[in-house]
Amino acid sequence: MDTSQYFYRNVILSMKDSKVSLIDIDNPDDTGPALDPWLGLVLQYANGHRTIEDLTKDLSRRYNGAPPANLEATIYSVVTRLVDLRFIILTKEATDLPYYLSLPYEQMDIEKAKESLKEDKAKSD
């Protein structure tokens, strides 16, 4: 895996009680189940300005210099799974997230987020 790649989320997150789930901005009451903690953690990091190497270094530091031997393999597996699901996108350059992806649902101005999403959809049509 090319760890110099940046990664950004491609889904809207909900964060309740330290649990991450996906949410449909138009149907917020239809929140999916909480994601596996590893998936949620990587999605939280996926801000478009961190590389996979940054993620690995940061998570390694959490273990006070003694990370588990399989930490890198776990991170790469989670990143690969999220890429396959199209929940995150890998890129060679840093990427600014649109407003509707930049914050958890509970922290954003919903009308502003919907307008930002509508503008993005119009650009891609």
pLDDT in tens, 72-100: 999 999 999 999 999 999 999 999 999 99
pLDDT score of 17: 87
> Quick check: is 1 in a domain?
no
pLDDT score of 94: 98
Domain of 39? 6-124
> Quick check: is 60 in a domain?
yes
On whether the pTM is more than 0.85, the answer is yes
Phi–psi pair at 84, nearest 5 degrees: -60, -35
pLDDT in tens, 12-50: 999 988 899 999 999 988 878 899 999 999 999 999 999
pLDDT score of 123: 86
> Quick check: is 106 in a domain?
yes
Give the closest residue to 9 by CA, choosing from 41, 36, 34, 46: 46
CATH number at residue 79: 3.90.930
Number of independent structural domains in the chain: 1
Quick one: 123 exposed, middle or buried, by C-beta within 10 A (0-12, 13-18, 19+)? exposed
